[in-house]
Amino acid sequence: MRQNKISTKAAQFTESVIRDMTRQAMRHGAINLAQGFPDFAAPEAIKRAGQEAIAADINQYAITWGAKELRQAIARKLETWQGLRVDPETEVTVCCGATEAMIASLMAVLDPGEEVIVFEPFYENYGPDAVLSGAAPRFVTLHPPREPQGEWSFDPQELRAAFNQRTRAIILNTPNNPTGKVFTRAELEQIRDLCLEFDVLAITDEIYEHIIFDGHRHVSIAAIDGMRDRTITINGMSKTYSVTGWRIGWAVAPPVLTGAIRKVHDFLTVGAAAPLQAAGVMALALPAEYYESLAREYRLRRDRLLASVREAGLRAFTPRGAYYIMTDVAPFGFADDVAFVKFLVEEIGVAAVPGSSFYKSSAGKQQVRFAFCKRDATLDAAGERLQKLAARTHATQ
Ligand SMILES: Cc1ncc(COP(=O)(O)O)c(C=O)c1O
């Protein structure tokens, strides 16, 4: 009987733990600090641009690889912010979110038998993405800092040991989900040296580019000497403009790679929503102050949630970018992260994500991630509920 058989590929991964936590939060009436979507309004001007595009009847398929004006806006923004000059006609593909840009890129460049290096902990999509593209992920650890205020880091020797003749690509994510790490220029140069030595591509997810704190600066690896022609840069509107439901993202890559990405993208989804692409043109032209205030507001949210998770007794690592706080929950004495998160959602009324969903190894078994892309009122309400945990640490001491 083959009717219930599923493919070997689909059998290799589970449903998204993050999206499942959102469903659990709804079931238990918990405050959702699990999934990374804002609960505050998107900017008025961007919403109006979307409404106007629909009213102006931009309602049919856009060009499959993206409306020309949006590709031009993406190229202009990359030049302004990263000093990178790309040709919107041959090097930019608009997709249904960075999510589709990543899977389309991997399917476009990877073959079975090849390997792709992924830093661990990783954004959970990268594992299944690698499986679906037929390649094998090889993980390199990002080690937590000794002090909560320190930086997550990789061991250069461990990174070098992951490269071999089968390595086709390395996936980067900076600013990083879930650790909040912002890769420095020096680190990216080390990665560049290995990419050149082993003839490897970099596929970099820069969706949190503008959510960055404490004087850290975002560096695109494509802008580092020697990398322009071997990098696929992925980004999108979701996080920068607080429109995660619009599903507009893009991949920027040299023409040969772009040709392959466009073919895969076309057959996966045909194209992203046309009126929302039109609104994207307006959004990407916003002045620098927009991005400055975005980062400032997120820093305040970070500080707010950091203070309350620390007061509640969690050991929280200070994120330098993106909108998550990774914590070490070992002091609470639960069997593992999943047991802790179950207790949190059912008894405390706050949903978070078990750290193990960001790891292939067992290193995340005492880690839990909280999202702070939420209104002050939401963060305060969650903070209040979390204080019930403090009593528990004292009780178990
Ligand atoms: C690192 C990273 N990449 C991509 C995405 C999803 O991006 P998009 O909404 O553009 O598909 C997320 C969302 O949480 C993310 O954290």
Q: Which residue has the higher pLDDT, 394 or 103?
A: 103
The tens digit of pLDDT for each residue in 248-292 reads 999 999 999 999 999 999 999 999 999 999 999 999 999 999 999
Ligand 1 atom nearest 98 alpha carbon:
10
Q: Which amino acid is at 278?
A: A
pLDDT tens per residue across span 73-91 = 999 999 999 999 999 999 9
Report the separation in Å between the CA atom of 36 and the middle of ligand 1, taken as the mean of its atom positions.
8
241 and 279 Cβ atoms separated by less than 8 Å: no
Task: Give the pLDDT mean for 184-207.
Answer: 98
260 CB-contact burial (10 Å; exposed 0-12 / middle 13-18 / buried 19+): middle
Least confident of 32-36, 51-55, 253-257: 32-36
Q: Which atom of ligand 1 is nearest to the CA of 100?
A: 11
Tokens read off for 263: 């073919």
pTM for the whole structure: 0.96
- Phi-psi bin for 73: left (phi > 0), alpha (psi -120 to 50), beta? alpha
Q: Which residues pair with 68 in a beta bridge?
A: none
One-letter amino acid of 56:
A
* C-alpha–C-alpha distance, residues 46 and 279, integer Å: 6
Return the H-helix or E-strand segment holding 338: helix 337-343
pLDDT for the residue 26:
87
pLDDT reading at 388 higher than 60 = yes
Average pLDDT of the residues in 16-28:
84
Token code pair at residue 157: 């020797």
Dist. CA 247 → ligand 1 center (Å): 10
- Neighbouring C-alpha atoms within 13 Å toward the C-beta of 257: 24
Q: If residue 181 lies in a helix (H) or strand (E), which one and from where to where? A: none
Cα–ligand 1 centroid distance for 19 (angstroms): 12
Identify the bridge partners of residue 143 per DSSP, sorted by sequence position: 153
To test ligand 1's pocket by mutation, which of 102, 122, 123 has the most ligand atoms within 8 angstroms of CB? 123
What is the spatial distance between Cα 280 and Cα 276, in angstroms, rounded to a whole number? 6
Residue 144 Cα to ligand 1 midpoint, Å, equals 22
Average model confidence (pLDDT) across the chain = 95
pLDDT of residue 137: 94
- Phi first, then psi, for residue 59 (nearest 5°) are -125, 5
Residues having CB closer than 6 A to ligand 1 are 36, 97-99, 123, 173, 177, 205, 207, 236, 238, 244, 249
* β partners of residue 93: 251
| Residue range 295-350, pLDDT digits in tens | 999 999 999 999 999 999 999 999 999 999 999 999 899 999 999 999 999 999 99
Residue 90, H or E segment = none
pLDDT over 80 (residue 231) = yes
Enclosing H/E stretch for 213: none
Contacts (Cβ under 8 Å, ≥6 apart) of 201 = 109, 168, 169, 170, 195, 230, 231, 232, 257
Task: Determine how β-strand 350-351 pairs with β-strand 31-32.
Answer: parallel
Question: Which long-range CB contacts under 8 A does 127-131 form with residues at least 24 apart?
Answer: 127/13, 127/360, 128/12, 128/13, 129/102, 129/103, 130/106, 131/9, 131/12, 131/13
Proportion of the chain above pLDDT 70, given as a percent: 98
Which burial class, exposed, middle or buried, applies to 83 when counting CB atoms under 10 A from its CB (0-12, 13-18, 19+)?
exposed
Say how many Å lie between the CA of residue 84 and the centre of ligand 1.
Answer: 22
Q: How far, in Å, is the centroid of ligand 1 from the Cα of 98? A: 6
* 73, 241, 378 from 65: Cα distances, Å: 14, 21, 38
**Which of 17, 106, 174, 177 is the best mutation target for the ligand 1 pocket, counting ligand atoms within 8 Å of the beta carbon and taking the most?**
177
* Element spanning 14, H or E: none
DSSP string across 216-243: -----GGGSTT-GGGEEEEEESTTTTT-
- Asked if the model's pLDDT at residue 394 lies above 60, the reply is no
Span 198-226, average pLDDT: 97
Q: Hey, what are 102's tokens?
A: 């990543």
List phi, psi (to 5°) of 25: -60, -45
Q: What is the mean pLDDT of residues 50-55?
A: 98
Bridge partner residues of 354 (DSSP)? 368
Expressed in angstroms and rounded, the spacing between residue 393 Cα and the centre of ligand 1 is 34
Check whether the bond before 175 is cis (ω within 30° of 0).
yes
Among candidate residues 324, 316, 354, the one with its CA nearest the CA of residue 337: 354
Q: Which among 21, 33, 74, 99 is the best mutation to test ligand 1's pocket, defined by most ligand atoms within 8 Å of the CB? A: 99
Q: What percent of the chain has pLDDT over 90?
A: 88
How far apart are the C-alpha atoms of 43 and 230, rounded to whole Å? 35
What's the gap in Å between 215 CA and the centre of ligand 1? 23
202-to-60, 158, 215, 260 alpha-carbon distances in Å: 34, 17, 25, 16
